[in-house]
Each structure stands twice: as C-alpha cells, then as structure tokens.
Structure 1
C-alpha cells in the first residue's frame, strides 16, 4: 500500500511536541489556563477517535440516502424481520462494533483518547415512556457499555471522553445526528427533556467521578436550533441564551458529585456559534468546535483562537473528518501547530476509505439498500436477516479493512506518540 508523503509540518510538530506529554499521560485531565494538562501538570495534546455509529447509527454511515435518524432505521428493520429479531440485531451490533481489538489498534497507532457518542435511550427512558412523571428510570445497557469500553481504555491507557450525541428529545433540526423524532417535542420544547438531560449527566458524573481515564464530559453534541427565529440551525443566533443556561445547569449538577473532570461545551450551529458566551463559569471548562470541509488555514479557526486568548480557556477540535487524507494531514498539522487537540470522525463506516476501518457488507446487503433507497424490490425476511446479521458480524475489527493511510495522515511517522 502506498504511504502518503509526510506533512511538511511534521518537523515543526515534532519540535513542539517535545514539550507535550505524548499518548501515555497520567491522572485526571484538567484545564489549566489555555492548555489541557494531566495529573502531573504536564500538557496533553489529545489525539482522539470518535466512535460514530456504535451507540447511535447515522444513516449515511450505512449508505442510506436522505433523512434517516436511528429510530426510523429501526422501524424499517422491524418491518422486515420483526421486533424480536431486530432487538437481537442491535445487541449484536453493539457487541461487534467496538471491541478490545479496536481499542488496542487505536492505542498502537498512537491515539490517546476516544470520544464516545452516546444515545440517551440506552441509559434512560424517553420522557413520554416514564411510568411515573418527574422520575427517571435508569437502564443498564448504556452504563454497561461505557464500563466495558472504559476497562479497555484503562488497560491501554487511553482517555475516554463521554459525548451526549443524542440528547432527550433531540437537540437540533439535523435529525440524523441526534435521532430526533419531529413528531415529539425537542430538547428545547419540553422542560422534561432538559431535566432528564441534567439528571443523566449527574448520574454519569456520580458513577465516574473517581475514574481518571474518563477524560471529560462533552455535554451536548452539535446543538443546531434557533432560539431567536433566525436561520433554523442556530448559525445566526446572537445570544444563544437557552444553550448557555442549560450548560450552566448541567455543570452545577455535575459539580455536586464530581469536581475532577473537565466539562466540554459546544456552541450552537453544529457546535461553532459562540455568540453570547458569557465567559467561563467553572475553572475546568473546555470549548469545543467542529471542522468539516473548510480551508485548513489560520483564518478558518481564528474565532476559536480568539476565544482561547480572550478567556484563557482550552479549545479542542471535538470532531472532524469525512474528507481526503491530504486534507486530514493539513488539518491535523494546523491543529497541532496551534496546540489544539482533536478527535476524528468516524472510526468505522460501511464501504468507506475515509475512516480507520472499512466495513464490507455481505452480498445480501446491496438488495436491502436498493429497497431502502427506493430502487429495488422488498427483500424476503431471510435475505434481510442475512444482510443485517452479516453486516453486524462484519463490524469486528478482524473482518474490516484497516486503512493504514488514514492513520498515517492523522499521526505521521516521526511524530512523538
């Protein structure tokens, strides 16, 4: 396999990182001034991987076209194979998608962190299904999955950053990324959803308060909601007041049980609109931004550099990817030149080479896709079962294609690991 040329920034990166703790840091991560440091006070540059598709499916990762939030994907599966087989499929999906082999491979490649996109419904019931209004029913599945992943991260000395990717009710109009059901009130339209969000973070913080390999709490992924009647995804909102208010409420709940962990905030408009940010209300905050399909220049990240300078608070590229290896190299070089950690997206995807692992579907999956995408006949139950369960089995790392050139683009040879 041809290895891409090493980024021209590599010599500068190597020099800069001689002063930064590589992959094997120690103790709780925390914000100190505008840097992230470990328990010994040494600067840590996060190099992470986002586990998109594991706890929360997004249709495009499965090669589905159009609007396909997970609840709709699940409905389509139920229509073909029934509810019991669908539940078995999702259990197998979660079991095969992320294993110890995946964590070991990331550690060996030089990654020192994992960003875990969580779906709230693996941890608690939707508000309209709560048997007792105002109470929270806790479900074991989500917590057990985090515990299992955390054990592997601890063994391979990788920080695990918890990311609420699908908040109760859904946090935006981009329904695919948060599994929002538009027939029900959103996170912003029902106070019960916000109460559940706060309660979930308190529960997670209470459970992991003394765990140093939990790297931080990424409170809400990519809010995209206008509170001011402007552009619907919130990119033009000027104050974003409800977002900052909810973040403060979550912070208070976390700090009741956990003083150890970093709290990571994301702006409106898919994480990047920080207008109206009132300034840090906690001494262990990090500001996150996301970066897709824009130039890898200082100008492109200037607003976030300005936030860091103004408030003396760390910034973190919480999500990027979905582009060419050349773009990847340029983006990482830009981040590391400015001492900004990053988390890439995603770890695995069906028939894609822009991620670490390419998932190869079974032959029956093509018939399923053609049907779902509107160009083919309805497959039989037997064909659908082979397609879906075969796909789930093929999620295992040893059955995937490992894209070494992607890893090389993100962590070039010669860079301290």
Structure 2
C-alpha cells in the first residue's frame, strides 16, 4: 500500500489536486471524536484531557489504558472503511490530538504507541482506496480558543508561547518522517481552525512548519486552514508551494437558535453563496484548489422533545444539498463533519440500545438541559439565567461586543467560560463515576458500542453525499 514513487503522490497543479496529472476531487468526512475526542461527539463534558483524567481516577491506570485502546480500535475498523468506500467517498480527514504523541509533563519525547491506531486506520483506508489527511486538531497550548483544541481554557496560548510552537514543529517533523513514503496520505493539515487575533503569527508559523516538513518530506500536500476557524484569509499573501488552502463553511440554518427555517428561497441560497464565495475568494485569487475542510448541519432526534423534529431534519438536509450545489459549481473538494458520533451529526451513530448509551443516558440528558456543550446546543433551558448575565456583562464592559473573534456574539463568549469550562470541569467528576467498578469485560462492552456493527446509519445524509459524488465524478 505504501509506494514512494514520486508519481503516486497527490500534488497541486494550478486549480487542481492531481494524480498522475489528472484532476481529482477529494470528498469524504472527518473522523472527529476518535484520536481527538470532542464532548458532543462521544458524550463527555468539557475538554478531553479532563474527561480522561476523570476516567483514570475512576478505574485506575491499567483499566484506563485498556479502555481507550479498545475505544480507538472499535471506533474505526474495517467495516467502517468498507462502508465509507461503498458510498463512493474517497477521503477521510483524521483529526489527532498532540497528547497521543507527547505529554506536557514529558515534552519532546515521542510515545512508542502514539502512531499505533493512526497507522492502522491509514492502512485500512488505503486498502479501500481512501485517501487520508492528517489534521492536528489539538496543538500544544491550544491553537484556538475552543474546546476542541483541548487546552482547558478560553485563550489560544499557542500564539503566546514559542515553546508550544516549537513542540508542534517537532510533532510535524515526527509525523513527516513516519509518513513521507505513504502515498495514500493525501497530505498534512498542520493546524485545525487557528484563531490568531493578530493575524500575522499564523502566517509566520505556516512558513516555518512548511520548511520543517519539506526538509523531511518534499512531496505531500499541505492543507492550510484560514484564520479565525478557517473563515478569514484577508491577511494571506503569496501561497506556499504544493499547498491547498482550506476553509470551513458551516451554515447558521443547520443549527438550533435560530430554528431551522430554511425554505430554499432565492435570498437564502444567495446568503450561502455569499458566505462561501467570501471564504474562497483567496483560493480563487491565487488560482489554487478549493478545499472545504468542514461543514454540515446537526440533526434532531425523537428524544429532543420537539414534535416536528423530522421536519426540522428535512430542512437541514435541504441546507446540505444547497451547499453541495454551491461547492459543485466551484469544483471544491470537501470533508463533511462528521463520520461517527452518538447521534447528533454523524453519518453513522451509536445505537441507543448499546451499553454506552444506556449507561450514560441520564448524564447525557442532564448535559443537554444544562447546555453544557457549545456545538449546536439549544440554550433555551438556561436562557433565564444567561440573558440577565449577558446584559450585566455588556453594561459593565461594552467592549465584550467587539471581542475577538467578532463572529462570536457576547452570549457565546460568556457561555464558553461559564458553561463550557467552569460548569463542565465540575461535570467531569460526575462523568467519571459512571465508569467506577467496571470490569475489563464491561469496559470493552462500552468501547464496542462505537463499533460499526453497533451503529445506525443516517441514510438520507449518506444518500445525499453519494449522489453528489456521482454527480461530480461524471
């Protein structure tokens, strides 16, 4: 599966990603929740390292190591790769957390087991002719201000401390040495959704990491996210060689608050076109390929208490089809978010009758009522608390309305600190208690809940993706 012949690498040629000189569109999904866990994807509160610590305290080191090895094994196996390929999709973006490779208390010392599951999944994908993009979703210090950077705070300290950047360069040198000859790796995504408030430090880092990688691996494509969660290219200048610049393009119509009122009107379609065209203006200016690294609605289910939940989902599928039509006109490659979760957004999702979902059901319901997760949450149950708090903040510090990133409303900044950090840190203790007293067999049963055989398929979503793949492959 590994062939170091230079002709077998994907490369950037003008506006195209090509193989053997022929254009290829990469279309697939992100494997979020796997080697970079996220709270809404797998059900824990807060940040991954905190939830892991709570489980370690509950079961001890030996059972902790066993559980997470089995979780990584079951989350993506051969049945997943076979199913993914059966849809006609050809690329999986693999988000990874730096903590798999080194620890904050033992930096610059790479773990022998760190690449075990990454190797396994890359090889499985290759077996089914699926390309992979390795995405550093969580870098030391946190390259963005959100929970998925796994830094535990609301500051992107990656930009404030050179040591975090130095360690990240070393991680990419480590990965480049290991994967430089693997032509089924489409390329490297050095930082997911950076948020550099000064806009210049990101560009300097891209120049630095590009040189470090190229000194080891001159062939693989670099997928470089725009600033401010992949949406802002306004400060980008000359493109780096053999690089694809990546936007992320979520639609507000695909989420609660406001409700899903998408009707497909000319005005709404034009809104999506303007949003996407603004994000890809830089790619078109430099005449380079377009890669949309993340997009996609979230979905309701019968347990949400909404009588029209199925109608809401139909409108969100319509949002998705609207976006795919726009992407097709720009010949964009894309990676929808996401492949697998516990029932919120995934192409496949863990069944309610599994050991994990049955055990965690009371906790997941509590988390929902507290609006503890940021992603796609419905904050109606807590508005009576947070609306007055927002007014209090704005009366005291009106500058909150201009805080970076300005795409966030004041309520988002407040919810991030109060619910997604402080509240969720305390919820981690409760989450850990659900694992207390479990045997090795019971822990494996929990982990196996995430296996393909125990998942359900979001059929309409998958049909839409397959239809788009067939349309653009003609």
For 2:84, what is the secondary structure of its paired residue? helix
Name the residue aligned to 2:40.
Answer: 60
Name the residue aligned to 2:131.
Answer: 159
Measure how far apart 1:368 and its partner are: 4.4
Measure how far apart 1:144 and its partner are: 2.0
Name the residue aligned to 1:33.
Answer: 14
State whether residues 232 and 279 of structure 2, in contact with CA within 8 Å, keep that contact through their aligned partners in structure 1.
Answer: no
1:276 aligns with 2:235: yes
State whether residues 80 and 384 of structure 1, in contact with CA within 8 Å, keep that contact through their aligned partners in structure 2.
Answer: no
1:250 aligns with 2:182: no
Q: Distance in 2 between matches of 1:250 and 1:327?
A: 36
Alignment of 1:64-213 (within 5 A): 64=44, 68-126=46-104, 128-130=105-107, 136-174=108-146, 176-182=147-153, 186-213=157-184
Measure how far apart 1:37 and its partner are: 1.1
Measure how far apart 1:165 and its partner are: 0.4
Measure how far apart 1:386 and its partner are: 8.5
For 1:321, what is the secondary structure of its paired residue? coil
Provide, for residues 215-252 of structure 1, a one-character-per-residue CA deviation record: whole Å limited to 9, x for no partner: 0111100112423xxxxxxxxxxxx1100001110000
TM-score for the superposition, normalised by structure 1:
0.81
Q: Residues 188 and 416 (structure 1 numbering): CA distance in 2 closer, same or farther, change over 3 Å?
A: closer
Name the residue aligned to 1:402.
Answer: 457
Name the residue aligned to 2:222.
Answer: 263
Runs of 4 or more off by more than 6 Å in structure 1? 371-374, 383-387
TM-score for the superposition, normalised by structure 2:
0.72
Which of residues 360, 373, 390 is equivalent to 1:365?
A: 360
Which of residues 301, 307, 321 is equivalent to 2:296?
A: 321
Q: Distance in 2 between matches of 1:56 and 1:197?
A: 16
For 2:114, what is the secondary structure of its paired residue? helix
State whether residues 145 and 155 of structure 2, in contact with CA within 8 Å, keep that contact through their aligned partners in structure 1.
Answer: no
Q: Distance in 2 between matches of 1:155 and 1:254?
A: 26
Structure 2, unmatched stretches of 5+, are: 1-6, 253-267, 299-315, 371-426
Q: Distance in 2 between matches of 1:380 and 1:160?
A: 33
Q: Distance in 2 between matches of 1:278 and 1:415?
A: 34
State whether residues 70 and 447 of structure 2, in contact with CA within 8 Å, keep that contact through their aligned partners in structure 1.
Answer: yes
Structure 1, unmatched stretches of 5+, are: 1-25, 131-135, 228-239
Q: Residues 221 and 366 (structure 1 numbering): CA distance in 2 closer, same or farther, change over 3 Å?
A: same
For 1:398, what is the secondary structure of its paired residue? helix
Q: Which moved more, 1:181-190 or 1:145-154?
A: 181-190
Aligned-CA RMSD value = 2.6
State whether residues 367 and 379 of structure 1, in contact with CA within 8 Å, keep that contact through their aligned partners in structure 2.
Answer: no
Q: Residues 390 and 214 (structure 1 numbering): CA distance in 2 closer, same or farther, change over 3 Å?
A: same
Q: Distance in 2 between matches of 1:391 and 1:356?
A: 20
Q: Residues 171 and 305 (structure 1 numbering): CA distance in 2 closer, same or farther, change over 3 Å?
A: closer
Q: Distance in 2 between matches of 1:69 and 1:321?
A: 22
Name the residue aligned to 1:5.
Answer: none
